Chains A and B, each alone.
Chain A
Amino acid sequence: MIPEFSIIFAALALGIVLAALLEKRFSYYIGIAATAIVLVVVLLIVAYEYVFGASVMAQTYAYIPQFGVHVSFIATPISTVLLTMTAVVLFAAALSSGKNGTSKGATVLMLLFGLAAIGLFSSSNLILFFIFWDVGVVATFFMISYMGSANRRSAALKFLVYSLGASAALLLGIILIYFGTPVHSFNIAYIISHGSLMPIGVQESIFVLLFVAFMIKMPIFPLHSWMADAYTESSTQGSMLISGVLSKFGAYGMLLLFLMMPIAAKYSTYILALAAISAFYAVLVAINQSDMKRLISYISMLDMSIILVGIASITVIGREGSIYGMLAHGLGIALLFLVAGSIEGMFGSRSIKFIRGVVEGSASAAYSFMLGIFSLTGVPLTVGFIADLLIFIGAFSAFGLYGLIPLGAILLAGGLLYLIVSRSIVNGRNGAEAPYLPTASQKAGYAVLLLFIFAFGMLPFILLKIIGS
Chain B
Amino acid sequence: MLAPNSDLMLVYAAFAVLAMFVASGLAAALHRRKNVAFLIGLPLLVIDTALFLSVFAGGSSTTLLGIFGMYPFSTLFAALFMASGTLIYLISYRYSNDFTGFSALFGFMLVGVIGVAASTSLVTTVVGIELVALSTVFMIILDGKSRVEPAVKLFILGAIAISVLLFAVAMVFSYNPSLLLSGFTAPGLTTGSYILTLAIILFVAGFSFEASLFPFNLWVPDVYQGAPTNITAMLAGMNKKVAFVAIMTTFFVLLSKYSATFSPIFELLAILTMFFGNIMAFVQKDVKRLFAYSSISQAGYILIGIAVADSFGIEASIVQIAAHMFMIIGAFSIVLWLESRGLRSIDDYSGLGYRSKFAGISLSIFMLSMAGVPPLLGFTGKLLLFSSAVDKGMLILAGLGILNSFMSIYYYGKVIGSMYSKKGVGSGKLFANGYIIAAVAVCLAVVVLFGLYPGPIIHAASEASLSLFGM
**B-binding residues in A (CB < 8 A):** 62-67, 127, 130-131, 134-135, 137-138, 141-142, 145-146, 153, 156-157, 160-161, 164-165, 167-169, 171-172, 175-176, 178-179
Contact = CB atoms under 8 A, between A and B. Distances in A.
Contacts of B459: 65-66
Nearest to A130: B374
A443 B387 CA distance: 50
A156 B410 CA distance: 11
B413 interface: yes
Instruction: Name the prevailing secondary structure of the A interface residues.
Output: helix
Given A130-B374, A134-B373, A171 B383 contact: yes
Interface residues of B, number: 32
B283 to A, nearest CB: 16
B413 A160 contact: yes
Most chain B beta-carbon contacts within 10 A, residue among A65, A145, A157, A164? A164
Interface stretch (B61-69, B218-226, B265-273, B395-403): B395-403
Contact of B387 (A63, A131, A164, A178): A178
B386 A66 contact: no
Interface in B358-413: 368, 371, 373-375, 379-380, 383, 386-387, 390-391, 398-399, 402-403, 405-406, 409-410, 413
Given A62-B455, A131-B375, A175-B398, A142 B391 contact: no
B258 interface: no
B406 A164 contact: yes
B416 A172 contact: no
29 contacts: A64-B380, A64-B454, A65-B459, A66-B455, A66-B458, A66-B459, A130-B374, A131-B375, A138-B368, A142-B420, A145-B416, A145-B421, A146-B420, A153-B417, A156-B413, A156-B417, A157-B414, A157-B417, A160-B409, A160-B413, A161-B409, A161-B410, A172-B390, A172-B402, A175-B387, A175-B390, A175-B398, A176-B390, A179-B387
A344 B11 CA distance: 70
Contacts of A171: 383, 386, 402
A141 B405 contact: no
Contact of B413 (A66, A131, A161): A161
Contact of A172 (B399, B410, B462): B399
Instruction: Name the prevailing secondary structure of the B interface residues.
Output: helix
Contacts of A66: 455, 458-459, 462
Most chain A beta-carbon contacts within 10 A, residue among B383, B390, B405? B383
B453 interface: yes
Given A145-B420, A175-B387, 12 more contacts: A62-B455, A65-B459, A130-B374, A131-B375, A138-B368, A156-B413, A160-B409, A168-B402, A171-B383, A172-B386, A172-B390, A176-B390
Most chain B beta-carbon contacts within 10 A, residue among A138, A156, A176? A138
Contact of B405 (A137, A142, A168, A179): A168
B402 A179 contact: no
A161 B383 CA distance: 19
Interchain residue pairs A-B with the least CB separation, the first 5: A168-B406, A131-B374, A164-B409, A160-B413, A168-B402
Contact of B390 (A130, A131, A134, A179): A179
A179 B417 contact: no
B373 A168 contact: no
Nearest to B461: A66
A64 B455 contact: yes
A67 B453 CA distance: 13
A135 to B, nearest CB: 7
Contact of B453 (A63, A164, A179): A63
A145 B417 contact: yes
A76 to B, nearest CB: 22
Contacts of B386: 171-172, 175
Contacts of A131: 374-375, 379
A122 to B, nearest CB: 16
Nearest to B423: A153
Contacts of B391: 179
Given A164-B406, A175-B398, A153 B462 contact: no
A167 B371 CA distance: 12
Contacts of B454: 63-64
